[in-house]
Structure 1
Amino acid sequence: MRSNLFEVEHEDFRAAFRAFVSAEIAPNANAWEQAGIVPRELFTAAGEAGVIAMEVPEEYGGGGAPDFRFSAVVAEEIGALGISGAGLGLATHTDICLPYLTALGTPEQKKRWLPALASGESIAAIAMTEPGTGSDLAGIATTARREGDSYVVDGAKTFISNGINADVVITVVRTDRESRHGGLSLLVLGRGMAGLTRGRNLDKLGQHAQDTAELAFDGVRVPRENLLGEEGGAFRALVANLPQERLSIAVLALGAARTALAQTLEYVKGRKAFGQPIGSFQNTRFVLAEIATEVAVAGSHVERCVQAHCAGELSAEEAAQVKWWCTELQGRVIDRCLQLHGGYGYMREYPIARAWADARITRIYGGTTEIMKEVVGRGLGL
């Protein structure tokens, strides 16, 4: 079915992003997977190509286009092109981190941080998860106590995307021990601050090119002017921004599922068993017919959710629904497609193998499937 979601400018942007991937990511993807990190130059190249920071106002060096459909194009292409390891750093920088700065930053803060982030000279990360706290954001234990004109931060974070490369780290801290939700604030920490240390680049099952690190804070002194938004306002800000993050994950997951289907269709038409293409077997036809139908139905719903988000109408519950549904679909589709590849599907030289490993995390990050169902259930009044 023909999509009505994207307009000419979005398709032009898609072409530009594909050209960027072809020139900058595709030739290097395997090397970056082995290295476990992308070079910082990838971000500056993305800035020069104009494929990051589309929502940042032009006065701060961005694209001046606060239209989520540009972000949806990037997420879709990251999933479709099989570059989730290398591409997710860019998506984290643009879709997850920058909205906090554009929405909550003062004019002085925007002038200080946004130009370098828009150009890719600086790289952003957001630090929420802690060794003892995952989806329960209200359980965050990293503290920030006031001392004169500064906050002193102590604690630890883990599983931080862009954690090694990041220059600007939006950090969720506890500024009030008495209030579970209202005691959280956002502080922007920077590379080089005394007491801020980075642990190892974590060895993950998939998405190897995405640097993911542990961060430790030992008496880090942060200027009061690095408070983002109001003190005690972090939980509201997180709740407001998480739907976009979850929708982006859903779009990426759907793109990956579509690509797995396309790759598998091509494979089963050429691979022979018992003297005939395995695509001619009834089981193969039925499996792929089921996958094609599920992907098509999910695509229609994702498109509606993107439209709702652009109109400011996507609820937290709806974002949770589309996130858990599409990521579970991604895992299910890629697993069935790998099965149709037989033994070759288990070989990392085949794209389906890497897609299978990369897909497993999408049901965890951004809120696990179980937490998403909890959000939906509470929305039902249960």
Structure 2
Amino acid sequence: MRKFFTDVPQELWRSYHWQIQNRIKTKEELKRYIRLTPEEERGIDQTTGLYPMAITPYYLSLMDPEDPQDPIRLQAIPRAVEVDERVQSMGEPDPFREEGHIPGLTHRYPDRVLFTLTTFCAVYCRHCMRKRIFQEGERARTREEIDRFLEYVRRHEEIRDVLISGGEPLSVSNEKLEYVLSNLRKIPHVEIIRIGTRLPVLAPQRFFDEELLHILEKYSPIWINTHFNHPKEITQESAEAVERLLRHRVPVNNQTVLLKGINDDPQVMLELMRGLLRIKVRPVYLFHCDPVKGALHFRTSLEKGLEIMEYLRGRISGMGIPTYAVDLPGGKGKVPISPNYILSVSGDTYTFKSPLDGIVEYTIRDAELY
């Protein structure tokens, strides 16, 4: 798994700080490892200053240097299409109205609040729903900003669930992370803390830090929501990161995004879901790609997502089937989308399409009628 970096000592390769300090950020650096296509070269040049590039050595090592359609390359290396006039003319920088009166705070659902702790990412994913923050530079929220967020949560007793996201929230120091978590845990009405992080995929070495793991365990219940998109991202290192989290009482859920040319194939999605269960990660959501400016070339049709959901049903246990969902523009929330297995209804008799093939008639009566 250390392709391109076999000369790097094991203790450095397993260091999160080494991975971050040695991110590949320029075309010249990347060309040492990857035979770039003209489209990729133009993409890097044309997105500079708008949608920057940064790739950890670990994530780079997952790429096929000879395949321009490699799913890791498509997620991490800019393409000129991102700034194509047609793509730029569609979508919005903030389609879900996340930006509010307190920097980094979104309170969309009554019992839940989102706080983006940083604009920094280990890898700048080309399909990112918060691609707009790439232009803000790499920074973490100040203590003053964090305190304003905490005060907001204290005042709103309806908040039960806090999601800490970014950027990459676990890129902050252990000290800053503990400051946030410890103060949230002092608020009586906060029951659950979730952390949205892609580090199990992009730099799993972060979870080889025992101090971090003890902090997460200390302020339990904490849930990790991560973001595997392709079976190639499930590696020995990512499996180790998940195992370490679980041993410290931190469950791990996954939110996949349906991406054209990357995972919009039923068999690829089935392999991904099976792989996630194998490393004890629970697939929760399959999100339809968001209408984000600079990322619309990754969108598929809803029909493609429904085709994939139908394919999964009957081929993997229920706990491996995510909820296919669309996040509605304007901050109107997520809605689940699923295939319709009811073909017709006649009185109490329902005609179903079976996921195992065939048509089944089934009479279902209300208990009061028996």
Q: Fold-level match, TM-score > 0.5? A: no
Higher relative contact order (CA 8 A, sep 6+): 1
Instruction: Please state which structure has a larger fraction of its residues in helix.
Output: 1
TM-score when normalising by structure 2: 0.29
